[in-house]
Chain A
Amino acid sequence: MSTQQHSGVPQPRGRMGRLSAWLDQPKVLAWLMLGPAVLYVIAFVGFPFLLAIALSMSDATIGDPSLDKFVGLANFSAVMQTDAFQLALRNSLIVTAGTLALVLVLATLASELLVHSFRGKRLFQMIFILPWALPVSLTAIVWMWFLDSTFSPVDWVLVQLNLLGPGSVWGPFNHLYFLGREWLGLASVIVTDTWRMLPLATIIVLAGRMSIPEERFEQARIDGAGVFRILFRITLPALKPMLIVAILFTGLLVIGEMSLVQLLTRGGPGHSTQVLPYWAYLKGIQGGSLAQGAAITLFLFPFLLVASVLALRAAYRSQEA
């Protein structure tokens, strides 16, 4: 009798059997599965973040990187008073806001296009996603040629259209020197960032667009709504949570991005197209002032944190409704 009962519940046999039984316990298994991720976050996110905070309140430099002196918020007030920082802050906000505005409009339009089926849609999708797959440096090189002071095809087209060149609207020169002027430089960065960020934002918005049942649009048409009323009263409210997520992703990626500016304009001329991350790099690594670099990097953090929490909450709430 008792032997029969034992055979009903197989007991682990041998060393491997006992090991696998031990591993099978929920507690052990959970820690094994979570362990690598937790270690990763601690080592590569948590530690550098705390180190940056510590650096920003110290007097560390490349020559003397020890955290032996606490200076409070002195680094923050010191960098905030420089012209370069103020320009970089302004430009970071302009570039991010401009990119977001362009990306949101274009992503909404693109998702409206991609939700319908048409000939060559697969090819279109493939080409559309390409900018996201390109490395930043390649993107920058492509756009540097596009906006080159001498060889820019944009200039050439404008000259052909008689918009540029001697006796035309935009002045006597045959070139706009996109990357050599403050506002054109910023606009160039915005356009390039938009080009890069559009695929990701479109995929996010498209996911939201595809989840709207077709009947809702049909109902709206029957109720008498035209294209614009449907867009503003039906489509956009339904897309709201996804648009917020797209804003969050695009905004955080753009505001933390330094390589594009570094490659396109090097922050110049002067500091006129400088942005915060690149300025932090120049100050902290090139200039050797680790403490001030960290302070510049961390300056936006509290604002971005609050904005992100609020945005995620809004997204969650509008999805509830």
Chain B
Amino acid sequence: MTVLTLRALEKHYGSIKAVDHVDLQLESGEFMAILGPSGSGKSTLMRMVAGLESPTAGDILVDGQSVVNVPPQHRNVAMVFQSFALYPHMTVRDNILFPLVSRKVPKHEHEARLNKATSMLGVEDLLDRRPNRLSGGQQQRVALARALVRDPDLFVFDEPLSALDAQIRSRARAELRELHDQTRITTLYVTHDQVEAMGLADRVAVINEGRLHQVGTPQELYNDPADLFVAGFIGNPPMNLIPINETTVAGIRPEDMLVDPEGDVSNVFIDLAVTIEHIEYLGSEWLAHGQAQSDADTHGQELHVIARLPASSHPDFVSGQKCRMVGQRKDVCLFDRASGKRQARAEVPA
């Protein structure tokens, strides 16, 4: 069942299109991440879903009902802000109960709902504290409990992990996913951090300059980027994008780059003479950064390429050393240079 549908959604600020014709569907129980760089329109999109902004055009449907003219207090959409936005003058208990009191949920239900939400998030012992006596991680759990307590149709998260310390962030990420697996509440998760998006979400929607570029599972985004933006955004480091002729750009993941391959390599598609610039050691792997001579015109620009090598390979490159980087046909994605769109595999000259 579809819980949330966005139809041709637009939001303009003057001549700026913050959200530009977005179509999106969230299925019941799905965890979807909206991933984009800052200023991409992802926050505007989320605020429209929550009801904090009204769209310029298009429609938002929750459970098949248009909610465009419904104010946020009458939508059953719960939101967790980046700052957690806890009410500082209320105890944790009153913070969590606030949505129930505001929505006039019968009083006799309060205690049971409070207990359920707090035990799920492990904040039962904090009920009488004020938010300023809580750590960042505790604040996040209280904010989640407050969102959870009213059984929302939809959860909307605005970068809920970015206010946390780096040390506890990965644990909080895992807990967030566990919480979702327990509750199965449909979730829209807005982030600029692809590690969060890829690690948490069932599907990821990549947005840039107000437009959706691709919606798919993390695997699809990684293995089959739909266009040059996604190819150059997903992955750390992202795909090497190598112009091969007037109309086509080839994309290849750094780990698929073969450096000075021994013996014969079949189906060679990219073959570059590369000057190594520097080598980065990242513990589990090496990154070899280099400067390539491209076959096609690069408009005089130098072409930066990165190859990822396993830690066991112990590369002994030095800066300035020449080497050969090879990409096989099976590992290459081709993009149209003008539109940025992915070319169908059939069109590729073998």
Measuring CB to CB, which residues of chain A are less than 8 angstroms from any residue of chain B? 213, 215-216, 218-226, 229, 233-234, 237-238, 240, 318, 321
Contact = CB atoms under 8 A, between A and B. Distances in A.
Given A221-B52, A222-B73, A321-B130, A213 B89 contact: no
A238 B89 contact: yes
30 contacts: A215-B81, A215-B85, A216-B85, A218-B72, A218-B79, A219-B79, A219-B81, A219-B85, A220-B87, A221-B51, A221-B52, A221-B72, A221-B73, A222-B50, A222-B51, A222-B52, A222-B75, A222-B79, A223-B73, A223-B103, A223-B146, A224-B73, A224-B150, A226-B73, A237-B89, A238-B88, A318-B89, A321-B88, A321-B130, A321-B132
A234 B99 CA distance: 13
A220 B83 CA distance: 14
Contact of B99 (A218, A223, A237, A238): A223
B102 interface: yes
A233 B101 CA distance: 11
A223 B79 CA distance: 8
Among A213, A224, A234, A237, which residue has the most Cβ atoms of chain B within 10 A?
A224
B98 interface: yes
A153 B150 CA distance: 56
A234 B90 CA distance: 9
Task: Give the 10 A-B CB pairs with smallest separation, nearest first.
Answer: A224-B102, A219-B85, A224-B103, A223-B99, A237-B89, A225-B102, A215-B85, A221-B72, A224-B73, A222-B72
Interface string B136-163: 0000000000100010000000000000
Given A218-B52, A221-B71, A222-B50, A234 B102 contact: no
Contacts of B234: none
B60 interface: no
B207 interface: no
B77 interface: yes
B188 interface: no
Nearest to B52: A218
Interface in B90-115: 90, 98-99, 102-103
B85 A213 contact: yes
Contacts of B334: none
B221 interface: no
A215 B102 contact: no
B89 A222 contact: no
B306 interface: no
Contacts of A219: 79, 81, 85, 87
A321 B89 CA distance: 6
B78 interface: yes
A11 B39 CA distance: 57
Among A225, A226, A240, which residue has the most Cβ atoms of chain B within 10 A?
A225
B52 A213 contact: no
A272 to B, nearest CB: 43
Given A218-B52, A219-B79, A224 B99 contact: yes
Given A223-B99, A223-B146, A225-B73, A218 B88 contact: no
Contacts of B89: 237-238, 240, 318, 321
Nearest to B104: A224
Nearest to A212: B88
B6 to A, nearest CB: 18
A189 B110 CA distance: 49
A222 B146 contact: no
Contacts of A226: 73, 102
A230 to B, nearest CB: 9
Among A221, A223, A234, A321, which residue has the most Cβ atoms of chain B within 10 A?
A223
Interface in B211-253: none
Contacts of B51: 221-222
Contacts of A221: 51-52, 71-73
A266 B85 CA distance: 53
Among B72, B132, B150, which residue has the most Cβ atoms of chain A within 10 A?
B72
B132 A223 contact: no
Given A218-B85, A219-B85, A233-B87, 5 more contacts: A218-B72, A222-B78, A223-B99, A223-B146, A318-B89
Given A216-B87, A218-B85, A223 B50 contact: no
A218 B81 contact: yes
Contact of A223 (B52, B71, B88, B98): B98
Contacts of B132: 321
A104 B331 CA distance: 70
A38 B297 CA distance: 79
A211 B83 CA distance: 15
Nearest to B80: A219
Contacts of A218: 50, 52, 72, 79, 81, 85
Nearest to B77: A222
